[in-house]
Structure 1
Amino acid sequence: MTSPVEALVQQLDSKADESYDARAELIWIGSDAIPAVIDGLPSLGGFGRLTAIEVFEAVGDPRCGPALIGLLHSDNPTVREWAAIALASLGIDAAVEPLRRAYRACLARATPPDWTEPDGIRWALTELGARSPVVPRLTARLRAIAADDAPGWPSAHFTEIINDLADHAQVILYSQFWRVDAGRTYDISGTALDWELDWTAPWEHLVDEARTWSLLEASGAPVGDDIFVAPTWIDRTDLHPER
């Protein structure tokens, strides 16, 4: 006989409104619901598993760690990405090696490093202390002049940051712009440039291409005392990790 909690787990795969209602109820139940969510994962489709991951994160019960690690092998890239992010959010240290394997699997599938799955896995590894982004001295100093809660670097220094990163052989993947107004942060559009790098090219070529595109973006980017830029970049070791 299906228990009420098990029924809610199965409802995670329902239409959006029903799924969200089930998610809210499971989060309200809290840790007592986690075993049923874990047991029900194999029977859920992609949407249901994504919603289950949201339950795991909201409840914050470390018992879901092994289940999230298992989801790193999903055939759905979004499930893999969300599982990686949840593992880091929950501080599951045992996930470091599985995350490294998941990242190498991304590269083996020729997934571009600027896509969301590898980006999410890199973030997770960084949060768990297993990856240290290269932050050149000037970039670090320019970051320090912003408030601790600022969502990036002052946009007026964007060109300096681009050149500093490229001079230290870092490849800029993309940049996000934010406006801070009365303590609230808003995502704002940049120049809408959309570039693609040839990831089979030599690393030095990738650095130069990313610099060129980023400087072009900087030439038309929004600037103001309340505007910040948050570039995302990778090191050579991110594209060619040690095995």
Structure 2
Amino acid sequence: MTTHIERLIQQLDDSTGPSYDARAELIGIGSAAIPAIIDGLPSLGGFGQLTAIEVFEEVADPRGGPALIALLGSDNPTAREWAAMGLTSLKFDGAIEPLRRAYRACLERATPPDWIEPGGIRWALTELGARTPVVPPLTARLRATAADDAPAWPSARFTEIINDLADNAQVILYSQFWRVDSGGTYGISGTGLDWELDWTAPWEHLVEESRTWSLLEASEAPAGDNIFVAPTWIDPTDLHPEK
């Protein structure tokens, strides 16, 4: 069995097809495969490491926690992001401080806060109870649930939510729109607007710039009783986390 598992682990790097079958088989083997995956992780390339992270997530064996923490220091930003999110599946007790260090490392590299990696780490910290987003009263009151129990808000109230967040010193990074009907919940295209903020600017400027762009998006956003919006925003403490 050990030899077979090791062979499967090496196949994780083969994106032409074998990787997907190996991934499924390793998940089926479950916890018995975790020690070998941990041992084989350094020998895998980028694709194989990402696939191994998926196995760790699905099996949810906490023994994979130290391996995921090690990947937070990878040269590959996607591996760092996936490792951060994978740690939430494992509910690994020692994850919070390494995640905080990984987030500070993002800021030190001047990675924009609206990029995928810092967003993934913030999400992981939030899921693990180490980060609490600021939710002003009006925004909290209008909150609904649209997709996979994710928070969302009626698109008809989007302008109010934007102003409520900005009035409370929050910067909206981007927004996702959802349509809910009898067949399920579906992500839909928004306005296509794409803006970049100057993260060297004072926070007050970032808030107002974000408000302006978001209000423009709201004016062009899809509308309807079954349309919901899920904005993503940050607080000034997300740019200056505690050491």
Cross-structure match for 1:62: 62
Q: Which moved more, 1:176-185 or 1:118-127?
A: 176-185
SS at 2:192 equivalent: coil
CA drift at 1:89 = 2.3
Distance 1:145 1:241, change over 3 A: closer
Is the Cα–Cα contact under 8 Å of residues 171 and 207 in structure 2 kept in the other structure? yes
Q: What is the percent sequence identity of the aligned residues?
A: 81
- Residue by residue, what CA displacement relative to the aligned partner does 1:55-84 show, whole Å, maximum 9, x if unpaired? 011111111011111110000000000000
The alpha-carbon distance between structure 1 residues 228 and 96, as it changes in their structure 2 partners (threshold 3 A), is same
Kept in 2: contact 1:151–1:228 (CA 8 A):
no
The 5 Å alignment of 1:1-243 reads: 3-143=3-143, 149=149, 151-182=151-182, 184-243=184-243
Match of 1:16, SS state, is coil
For 1:180, what is the secondary structure of its paired residue? strand
Which of 142-151 and 220-229 deviates more?
A: 142-151
Query: In the alignment, residue 14 of structure 1 is paired with which amino acid?
Result: D
Instruction: Give secondary structure in 2 for the equivalent of 1:214.
Output: helix
Please report the RMSD computed on the Cα atoms of aligned residues, expressed in angstroms.
Answer: 1.6
Q: CA deviation at 1:90?
A: 2.0
How far apart are residue 144 of structure 1 and its match? Answer: 5.1
Unaligned 5+ runs, structure 1: none
Q: Deviations over 1:15-70 (max 9, x none)?
A: 33111111011011111111111110000011000000000111111110111111
Contact 1:151 1:178 in 2 (8 A): no
Using the size of structure 2 for normalisation, the TM-score is 0.96
How far the C-alpha of 1:140 sits from its partner, in A, is 0.1
Q: Distance in 1 between matches of 2:6 and 2:234?
A: 42
Q: Give secondary structure in 2 for the equivalent of 1:223.
A: coil
Letter in 2 for 1:208: E
**Offset of 1:119 from its aligned partner?**
0.1
Could you tell me how far 1:148 is from its partner in structure 2?
A: 9.7
| Contact 2:69 2:95 survives alignment (8 Å) | yes
Does the residue aligned with 2:36 lie in a helix, a strand or coil? helix
Alpha-carbon spacing, 1:126–1:71, altered in 2? closer, same or farther (3 Å): same
Instruction: Note if contact 2:173-2:231 (Cα within 8 Å) is conserved in structure 1.
Output: yes
1:177, 1:229 within 8 Å by CA — same for their partners in 2?
yes
The number of equivalent residue pairs is 242
Deviations 1:149-178 (A, max 9, x none): 465111111000000000000000000001
